[in-house]
Amino acid sequence: MAPWHPTADKILSVLSDGKPMTSKEISDETRLTQPSVWRGVLRCWEKGLVLRSEKPIFEVVEKLRGRLGYRRNTSSFYYYVVNPRRVESLAIKGQRFVAYDKNYLDARGSKKTSKAQLILTFLKENSARALFSKEIFDALTDKGVKNRDVMGTVRRYNGLIYVRGYRSDERQTPFKEGYLITWLDQNKTREQAIEEAIERTDKALSNRSTTNPVIERIHFIRDRILESSKLRDLASVAFLQSELGLSEYEIENAVNRTLQLYSDLKETKLFNTYRYFYHDSLSGEELKASIAMKENYVRKTKGRENRIGHNWEAVPEWFLDKFTTGAKFWTQEHRLGRMDPQRITLHLLKPVGGRRNNAEVDRVWEVTPGLFSQPITYVLECKWGLIKKKYINDFFEVLRWSKEFGTDTPDGRQVKQGIIGVFAGSSFDPKESVQLKDETKINLSSYASRMNVQLLKASDFNEKLREKGVQKDVTVQKICRVSKGEKEVRSILEVIWNNPDKSGEILSKVAANNESVYEFEKMLEEK
């Protein structure tokens, strides 16, 4: 039995049910201060009265900071559980709890050198240089320092360290390799120490063309287009994006700005979709030959899958347009009028999956259930191929962080009430499951339902065709594979819906008419 101690008694009392608890939970239950609980659980742990989780748990905490908005911080904590049998270790729900041992002591509370001290010492020893945060992480990773530890330490000790990034009118953002960091000499005046720190960062940046990311990208893009034209080649958006390591929306903005500033750079679109660029020094014959070469490449690498993927988008759109009655579909004017006006561009308040400012969804429509009911808004996203959890999460994040469908709440950013996401996928991975906090596993369908996202599968549309009397060997997947474009998909669905008994014959006729398309795709794939 433990020697009498009021703090220890209270701690052991709340832990007596055998349920693991954190020091904060113990503090809330006992109404003891956090420092008292920390000292108390350490004494109990040392005496073998409790076991502690072997490794700390890391959790991202989001707090509202008034006008500054929400701020995210990573906090770490341990769990404690009562140890009536005085065992050395115990496993509870996959988590290992251990008895006291110096090897398990947290570096922050022991005589070991903490991660923060390692980082500060490293910066001080390299005070003659300015280092990117990635360089610091690479140098100390073998000592257990993680990427998040570097900037966490820098923010805590900003009086000792000078930090530099890309600067705009409103904020400072990291370079590609992270923020540039250097030690401030504490033996010199503040003004002199900062001047020397700026000199060191200038030296580290001396090989860069500019500290302005937009101008740097523009110069890079122009150089690559000129280089390609000298080689009698065209530069694609994908090539420029890969070279710069930008998101889809970042490269689009950078390319458009480059074309505005340099009139000698020209653009051509292959198959009215793929953007390629060249310098006007390229002769007419050379340009024609380069375009022919690129068209063959596009057909080979993107032909079949790209065609089927776009065709699949037309399937749920056709069913929704035809059978959603009493609904008001959103429309939107797009540049040059080349995009379906019912495809909607959303404005993002935070980047999602590489999309910085905007994201597109395939359909948005509103339904009012009754005279005095609030309208329900449905948002459709289509994707061909095997659907995984990450695609569902990405779609949900787009809704959550969009200006149109997200809202700020005391619990963080949430999707507005009355907004329902609809995700249409050709097939969903039957093997993929999602593990919840209580360690139970659910399938993708149940997971999506918890996030208020409805799933539409190809089998759902096929069932509608069967109900109409369409022959069993005619499926929406087959329609996508035989059609040469989205327009033809809609046309086929309309015809077979009106003539279900002739659906097989209609599909065979389409396949025969498009034989040259399949043969060409097959020939290119074989090469």
Rg (CA), the chain: 30
d(CA 457, CA 460): 5
Q: Which residues contact 215 (CB under 8 A, 6 or more apart)?
A: 209
Contact 81, 51 (CB under 8 A): yes
Per-residue pLDDT, 97: 93
Contact 99, 80 (CB under 8 A): no
Amino acid at 359: A
Per-residue pLDDT, 402: 92
Contact 357, 348 (CB under 8 A): yes
d(CA 28, CA 41): 14
Q: How do the residues of the chain divide into helix, strand and coil, expressed in percent and rounded to 5?
A: 45, 25, 30
Instruction: Catalogue all structural domains in the chain, each as residue range(s) with its CATH number.
Output: 6-109 (1.10.10.10), 115-204 (1.10.10), 213-282 (1.10.10.10), 305-523 (3.40.1350)
Kindly give the residue spans of alpha helices, DSSP state H, lying in 437-526: 444-450, 458-468, 476-482, 486-498, 503-513, 515-526
Count CB neighbours of 495 within 10 A. Answer: 15
Is 0.85 topped by the overall pTM? no
Residue 266, H or E segment = strand 265-270
Residue in 424, 427, 404 with CA at minimum distance from that of residue 416: 404
The bridge status of strand 131-132 relative to strand 344-347 is: unpaired
C-alpha angle 221-222-225 in degrees, rounded to nearest 5: 85
Amino acid at 121: T
| Strand partners of residue 44 | none
DSSP assignments along 202-216, one per residue: HHHTTTSS-S-HHHH
Count CB neighbours of 180 within 10 A. Answer: 24
- CA dist 90 → 52, 108, 232 (Å): 9, 24, 68
d(CA 79, CA 58): 12
User: How high is the mean pLDDT in each 10-residue block of the chain (527 residues)?
Assistant: 71 90 91 88 91 86 65 80 89 89 68 78 89 89 86 84 72 77 88 88 69 74 88 88 79 87 87 83 89 76 72 86 81 70 87 80 84 82 82 89 91 89 81 74 81 86 91 90 86 92 89 74 52
Contact 278, 264 (CB under 8 A): no
Q: Which residues contact 258 (CB under 8 A, 6 or more apart)?
A: 217, 218, 221, 222, 225, 265
Per-residue pLDDT, 338: 59
d(CA 239, CA 187): 49
DSSP helix/strand/coil, 183: strand
- CA dist 392 → 116, 320, 382, 383 (Å): 38, 20, 11, 10
Per-residue buried b or exposed e for 217-239, using 16+ beta carbons within 10 Å of the residue's own CB: bbebbbebbbebbeeebbbbbeb
Q: First vs last Cα of the chain: how many Å apart?
A: 79
The gap from C-alpha 43 to its chain's centroid, in whole angstroms, comes to 43
Amino acid at 193: A
DSSP helix/strand/coil, 463: helix
| Strand partners of residue 277 | 235, 267
d(CA 301, CA 320): 31
d(CA 306, CA 312): 10
Contact 53, 23 (CB under 8 A): no
| Strand partners of residue 359 | 346
Strands (DSSP E) contained in 104-155 are 131-132
- CA dist 403 → 65, 342, 346, 361, 435 (Å): 20, 18, 7, 14, 30
d(CA 221, CA 213): 12
d(CA 131, CA 186): 18
Instruction: Give the CA count within 13 Å in the CB-facing half-sphere of 471.
Output: 14
Contact 389, 434 (CB under 8 A): yes
